[in-house]
Structure 1
Amino acid sequence: MIVERAYAHVAEDELGPGGGPVWPWSVPCVRQLLDDGLRFTAPVTFLVGENGSGKSTLVEALAEAFGLDPWGGSAGHRYAGPREPSVLGGRMRFEATVAGRRMLRGPHTRRRGFFLRAETALDALGRERHTGRLSGTPDEMSHGEGFLMAFRERFLDPGLYVLDEPESALSFASCLELVGVLDDLSRTGAQIICATHSPLLTALPGAEIIEVGEHGMRSVEWHELELVEHWRRYLNDPKAYLRHIVG
């Protein structure tokens, strides 16, 4: 484990007119982060929630706070040029383990980890290749193959690995391979934080699942996830859903 708890404080001048919260402080999960912080109890943590729930906002801020390039890529390297931290990322702080404190207090080159951000992954992986940190050229392979190359070659050392919807480019079989990569990586002392919509990934044994939504954040079991129940029902009887959508 690298990080035990994440927290942030909002400055008074960042509140909206009349003292009311503005984005991102208006997002329920961010408000809970301000009040209680976000505790991590397992080497692998999944953040699950609907689009717009704030899970991507959280993972990007966590990556920034650790010193990972918000554009994506390996710890200790900047690829996208100068970029101001997001409002939340600039105020995020960590309660770290001994290993985490050594990384956070030292130079950026001492930090280990990777940020895989679905929207900018191909550009970030191309820059990884340009600097010799990947064996292949992402532009010459499929989106999913590029992701898998990064998982195999850059997800190796103990550090903080932040993923935002990595399943977006992966087949069922490739998602299973990613589960194996995450499990192996977690056993090295690394910590993984992943925002996802995948019932396959979240089934990783021993992982903590945090459901993000209007309620804020809460820890749940895999079988309690709404997305798991919806997929189970859909695969059992697609027409029960599709009759409301098509025809």
Structure 2
Amino acid sequence: MIVERAYAHVDDHDDREWPWSVPCVRDLLAGGLRFTAPVTFLVGENGSGKSTLVEALAEGFGLDSWGGSHDWRYASHRSKSTLGERIRFDAAPLGRRMLGSWAARKGFFLRAETALDALDREGFAPDSVSHGEGFLAAFRGKFLHAGLYVMDEPEAALSFASCLELLGHIGQLVKSGGQVICATHSPLLTALPGANIIEVGEHGLRRTTWSELALVDHWRRYLADPHSYLRHVLD
């Protein structure tokens, strides 16, 4: 493990203003977010705040909010978000060494909407491969060592088979001492054995299991009877 808990202290904020109005951010401020397994999935609807949360966690660890590796510091020239600049970590021994020394820090932030730009900066020449192949190239070339790896909806560019390959890379990364925090809509990814799953929504942050996830229930129902869903949007 690299980090064991993330938290933030904000002395003066308005709960009616973003991001402090987002339920998962309020939960983070109130009690922090604990990581009890090498892989943590944050699952929730669009607008639930999971992307806001993972971006802030990446920023708190010193990763570029635009996406990229630990050794490409703020290449996008973006300042940290109001939440990201306040994120702090309770870290495991290896994590404390990383947080105490920029040279020792290892990690990568992969976000769906900026992945190709980040990969281009990292030297992967994404124009020569498909979007999905570019994602997997990042794993093969950059997700290799003990460090903190934050991802925002990596399944967006991946086929079913590529998602399975991604899980294989995550499994190898964990064996190498890496830690993964991933925001996702994928029932395939969240089925990874041993992973923590946190459902994000109006309730804030809630730990759950794969079989209890709302998205898993919806996919099961849809695949069993697509018309029961489609009649509501097509009729």
The normalised TM-score by structure 2 is: 0.97
Matched, 1:116 2:110: yes
> Equivalent residue of 1:245, what SS?
helix
2:171 is matched with 183
* 2:160 matches 1:172: yes
| Mapped pair 1:194 → 2:182 | yes
Equivalent position to 2:88, from 74, 86, 93: 93
Counterparts of 1:156 and 1:21, CA distance in 2: 41
- Residue 139 of structure 1 and its aligned partner are, at CA, apart by 1.2
Q: Residue type matched to 1:120 in 2?
A: T
**Contact 1:67/1:76, CA 8 A, preserved across alignment:** no
What is the CA–CA distance in structure 1 between the aligned matches of 2:200 and 2:114, rounded to whole Å?
23
1:215 maps to which of 179, 203, 214:
203
8 Å Cα contact 1:60/1:89 also seen in 2: yes
* Residue number in structure 2 paired with 1:150: 138
Q: In structure 2, how many angstroms separate the alpha carbons of the residues matched to 1:80 and 1:169?
A: 23
Contact 2:50/2:200 (8 A) holds in 1: yes
Structure 2 unpaired stretches of 5+: none
Asked if the contact 1:45/1:192 (under 8 Å) is kept, the reply is yes
Report how many aligned residue pairs link the two structures: 235
TM-score when normalising by structure 1: 0.93
| TM-superposed deviation, 1:79 | 5.6
Following TM superposition, by how much is the alpha carbon of 1:91 offset from its aligned partner in structure 2, in angstroms? 0.3
The match for 1:24 among 16, 19, 27 is: 19
1:244 partner SS: helix
* 2:10 is equivalent to residue 5 of structure 1: no
Any conservation in 1 of the 2:64–2:76 contact (CA below 8 Å)? no
Structure 2 residue corresponding to 1:67, chosen from 18, 42, 62: 62
Q: Unpaired runs of 5+ in structure 1?
A: none
1:243 alignment partner, SS class: helix
Distance 1:30 1:5 in 2: 14
